[in-house]
Amino acid sequence: MKVQLRVLVGCLFFLGLLLSFHMPANAKTKFITIGTGGVTGVYYPTGGAICRLMNKIKKQTGIRCTVESTGGSVYNVNMIHKGELDFGVAQSDVVYQAITGTGRFAGKPIKDIRVVMTIHPELMTLVVRKDSGINSFVDLKGKRINIGNPGSGQEATSKVIFEYCKDVVSLKDFNPEYLKAAECPNALRDRKIDGYFYMVGHPTANIKEAADSLPIKLISLDIPCIEKLVADKPYYAWGEIPAGMYKGVDYSVKTFGVKATIVTSKDMDINTVYWMTKVILDNFDKFKKMHPAYRHLTKKDLLKGFDHRWIHPGAAKAFKEEGLL
Ligand code: GLU
C-alpha cells in the first residue's frame, strides 16, 4: 500500500513537473483563429477537426483554437498577411501564386505566407442541373454559371480556366455569377443558375445537398485546353471524382485539382505551429476519421504539394521529430 502511494505521489509530481515545463503558471491563454470557407465545404470541418484536437491539449499548450467561416482561399491568404487571421486553409495554386507573386498575385507577392502542411486533395468540380443541356465544357456558352464569390479559390481557378480556354469558352460567352458556394445548391434548384464551379474535397456536404434536392450531373474537364494548363503549371494535377459519391452520379468524373493547404504567417510563433502539427501527427488515425475526404491520406502526403522552402519552422520541427523531413 505504502509503496503504491509513493509511486502515485511520484507520478503526480512528475506529471506536475511536465505540465509546468510546458506551460508556466502565469502563462496567458493564446487564442488562434483558422480561416476556412463556406460551412458546407471541406475547409470548415477541416478547421474544426484541427481545433478539436488542439483544444484537447489546451491545458498543456495554453493555446485555444477557434474556426471562422470565410470567403475562402484568397481571402484567407490576404487576411493572414494583414494580421487579421492567424491560420487559414488555401488552395495550393493560390499559395504558390501568392508566395511567388505570379498569376493573380503578379507584381504583388505575399512573401510572409508560410505552409504548415497540406491536407486533402481538392478537385475542380462542375455541378450542373441534369436538365441544363450542359454535357461538356463547350455547352457553357450562353448559360448562367457560378464561378465563385470574390475571395474564393474557385473564383481564382475559374478565371485561370477561362483564360486558358478562351478559344473554346471565355467569360464573355456566358453569364458568370459570383455567389458563395453555400448558396449554390438552392440557386441551382431555383433555376437562378444552370451550374457552378467548386474547387473542393470529396465528398462534400455542399454537393450532397444539391444532389439530394434535384437531379444533377458532374461534368468532366478533360479537354485539350485544360490538359495544357495542367501540363504547364506545377501545382495542378489530374484526379477523379469516384462514382457513387453523390445521389444520381454513378459514373466517375475526370478533372484536375490542387491540395488544401494550411498556411500561416512567418511571424506566427514556432511553439503554436509546432503543437498544431504535432497534435495532427500524434492523432493521425483519429484525424483521418474526422472527414471522409481524408480517407486516402498518409502522413507523408501532408508534405506534398508545396515547396519545402516555404514550410514554417514550427511545422518543420514536428515533421523532423516524426522522421518525415
Ligand atoms: N477551395 C475553396 C476555396 O478556396 C474552398 C473549399 C472548401 O471550403 O472546402 O475557396
> What parts of the chain have a pLDDT lower than 70?
1-27
Among residues 258, 285, 306, which one ends one of the domains?
258
Task: Tell me the residue range of the domain where 41 lies.
Answer: 27-121+260-321
Domain count, the chain: 2
Same domain, 65 and 107: yes
Ligand 1 within 6 A of 93 CB? no
45 and 110 assigned to the same domain: yes
Q: Which pTM value belongs to this model?
A: 0.92
Query: Among residues 285, 317, 304, which one has the least CA distance to residue 92?
Result: 304
**Can you give the pLDDT at residue 23?**
53
User: Which protein residue's CA is at the shortest distance from atom 3 of ligand 1?
Assistant: 153
Tell me, yes or no, whether 13 lies in a domain.
no
The pLDDT score that the predictor gives to residue 26 is 47
Task: Extract the runs of DSSP E, i.e. beta strands, from 110-236.
Answer: 113-129, 144-146, 175-177, 195-200, 216-219
Q: Which pLDDT belongs to residue 276?
A: 98
Q: Is 200 in the pocket of ligand 1 (CB under 6 A)?
A: yes
- CB of 207 sitting under 6 A from ligand 1: no
**Which pLDDT belongs to residue 22?**
53
Q: Cα torsion for 230, 236, 239, 244, to the nearest 10°? A: -120
72 lines ligand 1 (CB under 6 A): yes
- What is the CATH number for 55? 3.40.190.10
Determine the distance separating the centroid of ligand 1 and the alpha carbon of 59, expressed in angstroms.
31
Q: Which of 241, 258, 275 is the last residue of a domain?
A: 258
324 Cα: distance to centroid of ligand 1 (angstroms): 27
Contact 159, 171 (CB under 8 A): yes
Query: How many angstroms separate the CA atoms of 272 and 192, rounded?
Result: 44
26 Cα to the center of ligand 1, angstroms: 39
Question: Ligand 1 in contact with 88 (CB < 6 A)?
Answer: no
261 CA from centroid of ligand 1 (Å): 10
Same domain for 167 and 186, yes or no, is yes
SS (H, E, C) 210-247: HHHHCCEEEECCCCHHHHHHHHHCCCCEEEEECCCCCC
- Looking at residue 27, what is its pLDDT? 67
Answer yes or no: do 225 and 279 share one domain: no
Mutational test site, ligand 1, from 69, 70, 89, 180, max ligand atoms within 8 Å of CB: 89
149 and 268 housed in the same domain: no
The whole-number pLDDT of residue 123 equals: 98
The per-residue pLDDT for 10 is 52
C-alpha count within 13 angstroms, C-beta hemisphere, residue 196? 28
* Ligand 1 in reach of 121 Cβ (< 6 A): no
Residue 166 lies in a domain: yes
Is 179 among the domain residues? Answer: yes
Q: Which residues pair with 89 in a beta bridge?
A: 262
Ligand 1 centroid to residue 6 C-alpha, Å = 54
